Structures are given as structure tokens and as C-alpha cells.
Structure 1
């Protein structure tokens, strides 16, 4: 690939195919949220135990982003996508055969691991094909995760009510085999050494302005990612169960989740445009502050209309946070390590989601309500804001002391 293909019509066509794959590949991490009340009732477990399959899903998803990202760096995106598509379908099959919450949790670990191919690895791959519009390209591919969570639960709601969650998982396994595996072969074109060199030159200049090694910056971003995603997980993971507790039922909770995620799609697109103008750090800081405000708004809201409104506000606030990490990695770290570096930072954000999902369920079991769980999220969100402010201040300080 020559530099003329950066931001080219081919790059945009590749982005469209990548988004289609992501919309199907990512559904595994959302399906377990929608079926959580049904799983809780079938196996007769508490809220914390019912959250365990989701937690294992997110742990697998986290590790998969890092491991599969490194595999894409080594072997390219097409063979890895094919292998993971087959793995997703097999993991759904294992979940269908589950006879206990522990068996389902184990199956969800594999669902999460292979599902990860639709997130960080695809984000890293598409980032190589854009320079001027990298922010919006990354944001659009990342939106596949939210589009998946917004539309698939609504499409499958009827099957869940009539036929149960196992039939839903069978449909998802079939959809993965019919979409992800065939489309993977359309992404066989590889990135050229010239494009890598161009990206490396730009990232080296930015890295000097921060004064941190790639490893140190990765760990710092990872810590920030845990903070923001513990906060993010409270509404995303427990909104369906929260609505059931308030007497509105799981269907209303699924609608709020869909509204939240649709708002997240819009937020990711706007954040991508902002990242191309302001850079990843400032964009992430804006999103983190807005997310914290939205979490505060949940505290007095338990009426139906207000919950719909706040869920939309939350989605519009936080959607651009996670893809901003990928933009920061590509701005400050070596291009040839993009899959592994992006995967590591996103692994940390997803571990934050897993920790927060379990933690909120545990707090609910201890206190009997979700109020303290929201406050817990707000405090973790503050950690993320503090790190972004420190990083932004350090970048300015290092820039100021460097000789002209």
C-alpha cells in the first residue's frame, strides 16, 4: 500500500466492511446482559451470581483484545477473523448446552474472548488506512460495538420471550458464520512499509511531547481505562435489572439499553470528529467529564420518562471515551505495534467493565439498591478525569521546556 491509499476511497470501503463485521461479531458481549434476568430465574441465583457470566464474558473480551490484537500484528486480520468467527459460533454452542450458572460462565469466557476480534483488533487494523481522518475512522469501527448492542437485543426480543435464551444464542451462532467468516476474506489487502514509516514519524514527534515511554504511557492509559469503565458499567450492565426492580420489566430495560447505545453511536461519531481536531487526550477528557455528570443525573431519576432521558444523556456522554484511547495509542506509539498496544489499553478498559459489572451487583446485594453503586461509579470516574488532566498538563509542560 502506498501513501496514496491513506484516507482513499478504498480505505472508506474497507471501513464499511469492517463496520459490518463488527456489528455481528460484537453481539456476544451484549446478549448476556439481555438474557441475564432469564438466566437468574432459570438457575435460581442471586444478582451477583447472575452477573458472573457477564463478568467472565468481559474478562475473556479483555484478554482477547490483547491476544488477538497481537495475532493480527503478526498474521494479518483475515486469518484471525476467520478463526475467531468459528470460535464465536462454537462458544455459543457451548453456552446452549449449559446446565448451571458456572457452566454458562465458562462458556461466556470463550464467547468474550473470540468476540474481542470485532473490537480492538478491527480498530487497530482500520487505523492503518487513515491519517487525516483516523479519529472518525476509529470511532465508526468502534461504533459497531454499540450498534450491535442497540439493534440485536431488539431484533431478538421476540425470540427471547417466546423460545428462551438458548434459541437466541443459536441464531447468533448462525449469523456469525454467515457474516463474519465470508466478509473476512474481503480484508486481505496488507499495509505497506511506506505507510508504516509515515505513521511512525508522526507518532515519534508526539511521543516526545509527553516525555513517557510507550510502556509507561500504556500502563497509565490502562489505569485511566479501568477508572472510566468501572463507572460506565453501572448503567450499561444493570439497566435491565434496575428496570425490573422498579417494576418496569425487562423489555423497558432493553429499550433503555438500546437508547443508551444509540446515543453512544452518535457520541462516538462526534468524538471521532473532535479527535481529528483536538487530539485523543482532550477528546477523552471531555467525554469523561460528561459521563460523570450523566451518572450524577441517574441518582434522582426513577420515573419512567426521566430514566429514558437520562439513559440517552448517558449514551451521548460516554460513547466516545473508549475509541479515544485507541486514537491516543496511535498518536503516541509505534504503528507496527498497534494491534498489541491498542489491545492492551482496551483490555484494561474492559477489565474495568468486568470489575464494575460485578462490583455493582455485589453492592446491590449488600445494600438492597443501586444508589451506592452509582456513587461508586462516580468516584472511579474521578480517577480517570484526574489522569487525563495530569497527562494533558505534562504534555504542555514538556512542550514548553523543549528548545525551539
Structure 2
């Protein structure tokens, strides 16, 4: 019995294969979200849709990811994530294929909604929770590397999409993307396994060894409220950076190269953000990275110098992606294995809601003003609100720890 427990407590080497699998699946999924910004102008031109209307495609995928993520979180905690990747691979391929044949705004929204509900929602929070509990040692690093897949995909896929649209048109680009996703995602999805730690907790009456001064419900509530605003902040450049740059006269290839650099910086940001969470704590890392994204996002409409634009993209990409890792690590460290997928899905619900709303408001403010200055100002203001909430959360944890410490030093009924 002791030997078995000792074996379970170790970090199995298969966990690193899970990191690679979920890295790849999230790269494909998040890459399609990023590519919406590249399809935005060609679709607007062909069908006569406004910038705000087309931006709602991103909102559709974000809200469906949010809504269905809650369902998949419940199922994952109860039954595991064994077949999540297979289902997601099939649905992502089908959605992209149907987008190549779309003729109306309803189809555009509908197929992106499907992509989010049965694709993105299945390969993000539930699988991140699975990966996080493969590791007792340095879970932040493992989650950071896993989450880096999203940034990698959001850099590479929009760039390749821009080349594809220029060479083959937007319909054929959707079709080529669908075939590529099937060839990559479908085979690797069969290698998904459940974390031994989560299996042990789910299949027994063992009480999870959680040590945190706030209840799990309160933790989830604090993080959920914060991510609404931090995701409002990051959504604007994700959806509108390519249109902003092409409006200023840059070619699509040039604009997507800036986005690619931003996302590659994000790969580093997610990995180091996760590792920093292991070293100084998840919440301090979240606050530090949030300061960065709030400051840097404001300057995108105001920078025209190309080297400075690349530097700004690197700084924003690093910090915004560090925020993404920090949210995952906060949830991993502050809730139990038994509740992990539901907790990550709940915080993701509000995060995706914030992303969808931020992407839409960015487009709506553009339609009102004819430029992106107020869109990016809005993003920075939302980042500031996020920082206020995180500061209050930190103070709440500190006060509760002090109260518990005093209670231990002076137990009720003790003689004074």
C-alpha cells in the first residue's frame, strides 16, 4: 500500500506526453480563434458585413466555449477526459470545412459557435485540469508549457492563414485548414489518459490534501470576476491587431507577422509565467503580468515605428500570456483535484465571456469612431479594473491567513 501510494505521488513520465498532446490540440484550437482576425476583412469585403458584425464571430466561439465548458468540466470531473480530444478533432475539422462553404452571417456565427462548443471548450479547461494534476513537482511549469500551445497556435496559424488567403482565397484556406486539423489532431487524441492523482480522488473517498485559507467557492468567485476584465483587455488586440495594422497601410503578411511575433513572445510568457508561479506564487505572478498587459495594450494605436511596434508586441505578448498561465496556476493551486475541471471551466466561462465581449466592443467602438484609439483605451481601462480586483483578492487572502494564525495562537476557551 505504501509503495503504491509512493508511486502515485511521483510525477509519471507520461505526464510530459500529455503536455505535448494538449499543447498541440490547444495550438490548433486557439490558432483558429486568432485566425478570425485575418478572415475579418476579406469576409467583411465580400459579404458587406460591418467590423462589429464580423467580430461577433469571435464572440460566438468565446461564448459557446464558456457555456459548454461548464458542461464538459462537470463531465470531466465525474468521468474523465479520455475521449474529449477525439470528439474535438472531428468537430473542429467539420466546422472549418463548413465555414469554407458559408454564404450568410448566420452560418458564420453558427459554425464558429459549434467550433467553440465541441472543439475549443473540450481541449482547453478540462484537459488543462487533467495535465495540472499529473504533476506534484512544478505544476506551474507544466501548465505554462501546455498553455504555451495556445500562444504558439495564435502566432503560426493566423500567419499561415494570411498567406493562404493571399494565394488561394478565404474559402480554400478554410478547407486546407480543416484537412490539416484532421491529420494532426485526430491521431494524437487517442493517447489522452487521465491523471492518476485525479483517478485516485474520483474513485475513492480519500479527502484531497488542500491547504488554502479561503473556501473553494470563494476562490472561484474571486478569479472569475477578475478574468472578465483581464480578458476584456487582452481580447481587443487578439481580434483587432491585424485590422488595425492593415488600416494603417500594412500588408496582411506584414500585419500577421507582428501578431506572430506577439504570440511567440506569448509562448515564452506562458512558460515563464507558469514557472514564476512556482517560485513566487500564482497570485503575485498574475498581478505582475496584469500590470504589464494593462500598460502595453494602450499604446498599439499610437505606435507607427515598425521596430517599436515589434517591441510593443513582444512586451504585450509576454505579459498577456503570463496572465493566461497565472489564471491556470491559481486555480490549480487553490482548489482540490476533485473540483479541478469544474473550477477551471467556471473561471474559463467568465474568461471566455470577457473575451467575447471585449472582441465585440473593440469592433463596435471602431464602427462608432472610425479608428481603434477608443477600442484600445477601453482595453487598458478593463485591465485596470482587473488589477483592483486582484489587489482586493490578495488583501482578502492576507487577512484570512492572519485571522487563522491568531486562532491557532489563541484557541477558543484557552486561558489568558
Shorter-chain TM range is over 0.9
| Aligned position for 2:413 | none
Tell whether 2:57 aligns with 1:56: no
| Aligned position for 2:412 | none
Structure 1 residue 23 displacement after superposition: 2.3
Correspondence list, 1:176-255, <5 A: 176-192=181-197, 193-194=199-200, 201-203=208-210, 205-206=211-212, 209-210=213-214, 213-255=215-257
From the CA coordinates, give the structure whose radius of gyration is larger.
2
| Aligned position for 2:266 | 264
Counterpart CA distance in 2 for 1:3 and 1:84 is 34
Compare 217-226 and 353-362 and name the one that shifted more: 217-226
**TM-score between both structures, scaled by the size of structure 2:** 0.90
Tell whether 2:87 aligns with 1:88: no
Check the 8 A contact 1:265/1:319 in 2, yes or no.
yes
Unaligned runs of 5+ in 2: 409-416
Structure 1 residue 316 displacement after superposition: 1.4
Counterpart CA distance in 2 for 1:173 and 1:96 is 9
Check the 8 A contact 2:244/2:301 in 1, yes or no.
no
| Aligned position for 2:101 | 97
Tell whether 2:4 aligns with 1:4: no
| Aligned position for 1:171 | 176
Structure 1 residue 189 displacement after superposition: 4.9
Check the 8 A contact 1:25/1:176 in 2, yes or no.
no
Counterpart CA distance in 2 for 1:86 and 1:397 is 48
Counterpart CA distance in 2 for 1:398 and 1:13 is 39
Tell whether 2:142 aligns with 1:137: yes
* Residues 100-159 of structure 1: CA deviation (Å, up to 9, x unaligned): 122211111111222222221221110110112110111111111111111122334332
Counterpart CA distance in 2 for 1:253 and 1:183 is 32
Counterparts in 2 of 1:223 and 1:149: CA distance versus 1, 3 Å = same
Unaligned runs of 5+ in 1: none
Counterparts in 2 of 1:368 and 1:199: CA distance versus 1, 3 Å = farther
Check the 8 A contact 2:132/2:139 in 1, yes or no.
yes
Counterparts in 2 of 1:299 and 1:176: CA distance versus 1, 3 Å = closer
Structure 1 residue 20 displacement after superposition: 2.5
Structure 1 residue 179 displacement after superposition: 2.2
**TM-score between both structures, scaled by the size of structure 1:** 0.92
| Aligned position for 2:122 | 117
Structure 1 residue 369 displacement after superposition: 1.4
Correspondence list, 1:2-401, <5 A: 2-5=5-8, 6-113=10-117, 114-192=119-197, 193-194=199-200, 201-203=208-210, 205-206=211-212, 209-210=213-214, 213-298=215-300, 300-401=302-403
Counterparts in 2 of 1:44 and 1:374: CA distance versus 1, 3 Å = same
Structure 1 residue 362 displacement after superposition: 0.7
Counterpart CA distance in 2 for 1:37 and 1:250 is 10
Counterparts in 2 of 1:157 and 1:362: CA distance versus 1, 3 Å = closer
Compare 247-256 and 57-66 and name the one that shifted more: 57-66
Check the 8 A contact 1:200/1:335 in 2, yes or no.
no
- What is the aligned-residue RMSD (CA, Å)? 2.1
* Residues 308-359 of structure 1: CA deviation (Å, up to 9, x unaligned): 2211111012111122222222222221121111011012112111101100
| Aligned position for 2:414 | none
* Residues 358-392 of structure 1: CA deviation (Å, up to 9, x unaligned): 00111111112111112111111111111111111
Check the 8 A contact 2:269/2:318 in 1, yes or no.
yes
Counterparts in 2 of 1:183 and 1:369: CA distance versus 1, 3 Å = same
Check the 8 A contact 1:2/1:195 in 2, yes or no.
no
Matched length: 399
Counterparts in 2 of 1:201 and 1:147: CA distance versus 1, 3 Å = same
SS at structure 2 position matched to 1:98: coil
